[in-house]
Structure 1
Amino acid sequence: EIEECERAGLQERGQREDRQAAFLLSGRLRRASGLSHEAHRRDVEQVYLRCSQGSLEWLYPTGAIIVNVRPNTESSSRRTADVFVCIKPQTFSQGSHVYLEHEGDLRLLLSDADQAQGAVRCFSLKEGALFVEAVPQRDISRKITAFQYELVPSQGPGAHMYPYLHQGPVTCKPCSDQDVLMAVCTSDFAGCGTFGDAASGSNQHPVVTATLRRLFHQKSGLFAWGGARGQGWRGRVSVPAACVVPPGEDEYLLTGSVHFGEAWLGCAPRYRDFLKLYAEAVNAGTNPCHVDTN
């Protein structure tokens, strides 16, 4: 499936570059007003993104494009309702406004000025497509609109901890026993360790250091071995402000997800509680995967 997605992405990229060359040179995309684009819909370029994550660059933007996210996965109305699209503009991105379009209605997601801040915006896949409208200007030669995108499930272990999927502040509620058992198997990273001090980040989403005595699995090399001193695996994890744990000696099961190259905390019970829960699941034959806790 990954290879198929990559092949589709390469083909799509080539087609997009051909289209870009056409409308950049010939100007066949007409400049449209974002609030009344329906009459010009035939002149607006359609772009399709079929992978679960990737990036898009629009060089020298003029007119408008509609970006449709169509993943190469089995679709159903229920599954679609549970999947969100998250976008993060590059800090150099400029020259356009990004809207969410649904049945002709537009809702602003990112203004031209917002994009330099790299702010993340998420919306449900069922809510529509992205309508990206170039800002009218005389000199477009130095403008590039560029953003990354990801498909993010809104349900599942620890999903409630990713703040961009929800309105309002994150409620720091503990995960259910079943979610904890699934989280240690399916999360982007899982290990046991301690929390350190806040390293950076905003007041709403501080980034804290974490040291893992044991690393069960990870992706993207988020945690690096501390070296000969035996300090364990060290990394940084974004945590909603309401869920920050004071630095201390208590060990936790740390699980979470990776979004745009950053680790976000998911389910994180005390490690001793997880060991008891896991042992009970093993005895009952209900553990979803094997974890080497010895």
Structure 2
Amino acid sequence: MQLHVWILYLGCLCSVSCSYRESQCSWRESGLSLDAGSVKQAVLRCAEGSVEWLYPAGALRFALVPRQPPAVPVPEPRLLTACIKPAASFSGAQLYLEKDGELELLLPEPRPSGGPAGRPRVHCFSWLPRQKVALFLQATPHQDISRRIAAFRYELRGDWDGRLALPLNKLSADGACRPCNDTEILMAACTSDFVVRGNIRMVGNDAELQESVIGISATRVYRQKFTLFHAHGRSVRSLGDIRVPLSCGVKPGPGTFLFMGWVHFGDAWLGCAPRYKDFKQVYEAAIGARENPCEIALE
């Protein structure tokens, strides 16, 4: 791999011609505007957004600086997290993670396969607040760059928002399959992107992506950030899918559950799923002790 551009950049900033641009949530530009051997810089601050680099040439550097909620006194987060999801047609560049000046290949340019493109893998990583983290996009040499587009979506997260089971944490080896305790169940009911009561109708496994997809038949949708669960016909039930890591070994079974979790690149990911009767017991005990963080309409 040719990393001479990065070595020059990291070793001596004055030897590289850089242009600076504060981005909003999404960044879209052409590599044809870059001078040969230059590195263009931008900042990604939003909780989520996208990058689209047309006709890659030269190099890009995106500093990752998640915003903290304004005017809300919060402790410094223990960890910052980011997830990158490349477009299915990602080409023309390689993506590197820079952490404290060290470079790690995060996403190589896919090799031409001739077959249909699979569902893109999500790459997640974390860092401490005082660490300097950036993404480098280095264009790979091609005679014809007219059809090359290096595009990806990103999510930036911190743990200052009170969420106890962010998608990254639930995808990690430590927290993916761990059952939620009573405190986490109550907080999840108040802060999750979706809260639905229902049953498991099927479970499908994707060995390539190492994911299980749980088909949910919901009898009540308490909250959903996006339209994840849709009503079908005249049925009072809504149908939708929730994802979990394949390693959790989820299997279909009887019973009514309260499914709670977060939206991750447009997909619903499971945070907590207590049986509904168990949730009622925990919630009613919290009300009796005046320790319920929010109100849920029980039936």
Q: TM-score range by the shorter chain?
A: 0.7 to 0.9
Confirm whether residue 216 of structure 1 aligns to residue 218 of structure 2.
no
1:52 aligned partner:
47
SS at match of 2:23: helix
Q: Which of 29, 32, 38 lines up with 1:24 in the alignment?
A: 32
* 1:125-178 C-alpha deviation (Å, 9 max, x unpaired): 4451101101012211111110000123468433377554x3x48652211111
**Pair 245,141 (structure 1): closer, same or farther in 2 beyond 3 Å:** closer
SS at match of 2:56: coil
Q: Give me the whole-angstrom Cα distance separating, in 2, the residues matched to 1:212 and 1:15.
A: 34
SS at match of 1:239: strand
**Pair 16,216 (structure 1): closer, same or farther in 2 beyond 3 Å:** closer
Confirm whether residue 97 of structure 1 aligns to residue 94 of structure 2.
yes
**Pair 100,191 (structure 1): closer, same or farther in 2 beyond 3 Å:** same
Q: CA RMSD in A?
A: 3.0
* 1:188-226 C-alpha deviation (Å, 9 max, x unpaired): 101111112124533631112011111110011000113
* 1:55-112 C-alpha deviation (Å, 9 max, x unpaired): 0111111111111122332599974542201010110111111011123321011001
- Give the TM-score, by structure 1 length: 0.80
> Match for 1:119: what amino acid?
R
Deviates more, 1:78-87 or 1:43-52: 78-87
Q: Give me the whole-angstrom Cα distance separating, in 2, the residues matched to 1:24 and 1:14.
A: 22
Confirm whether residue 248 of structure 1 aligns to residue 256 of structure 2.
no
* 1:224-278 C-alpha deviation (Å, 9 max, x unpaired): 1133133x11101112234344323311110011101111111111111100000
> Match for 1:56: what amino acid?
V
> Match for 2:87: what amino acid?
Q
SS at match of 1:278: helix
Q: Which of 155, 158, 166 lines up with 1:159 in the alignment?
A: 166
**Pair 88,48 (structure 1): closer, same or farther in 2 beyond 3 Å:** same
Confirm whether residue 269 of structure 1 aligns to residue 274 of structure 2.
yes
Q: Give me the whole-angstrom Cα distance separating, in 2, the residues matched to 1:217 and 1:137.
A: 48
Q: Give me the whole-angstrom Cα distance separating, in 1, the residues matched to 2:49 and 2:177.
A: 30
Q: Which of 58, 66, 70 lines up with 2:65 in the alignment?
A: 70
Percent identity for Structure 1 against Structure 2: 38
2:212 aligned partner:
206
- Give the TM-score, by structure 2 length: 0.79
Q: Which runs of structure 2 are paired with 1:162-201 in the superposition (5 Å)?
A: 164=171, 166=172, 168=173, 172-199=177-204, 201=206
Aligned residues: 266
Q: Give me the whole-angstrom Cα distance separating, in 1, the residues matched to 2:167 and 2:26.
A: 37
> Match for 1:28: what amino acid?
D
**Which has a greater percent of strand?**
2
Q: Give me the whole-angstrom Cα distance separating, in 1, the residues matched to 2:282 and 2:225.
A: 25
Deviates more, 1:186-195 or 1:102-111: 102-111
> Match for 1:213: what amino acid?
T
**Which has a greater percent of helix?**
1
Q: Give me the whole-angstrom Cα distance separating, in 2, the residues matched to 1:44 and 1:242.
A: 40
1:39 aligned partner:
none
Q: Which runs of structure 2 are paired with 1:76-155 in the superposition (5 Å)?
A: 79-113=76-110, 117=118, 118-126=120-128, 128-153=133-158
> Match for 2:143: what amino acid?
R
**Pair 169,114 (structure 1): closer, same or farther in 2 beyond 3 Å:** farther
Q: Give me the whole-angstrom Cα distance separating, in 1, the residues matched to 2:168 and 2:255.
A: 21
2:231 aligned partner:
225
Confirm whether residue 12 of structure 1 aligns to residue 19 of structure 2.
no
**Pair 14,183 (structure 1): closer, same or farther in 2 beyond 3 Å:** closer
Do the aligned partners of 2:170 and 2:176 also contact (CA within 8 Å) in 1?
no
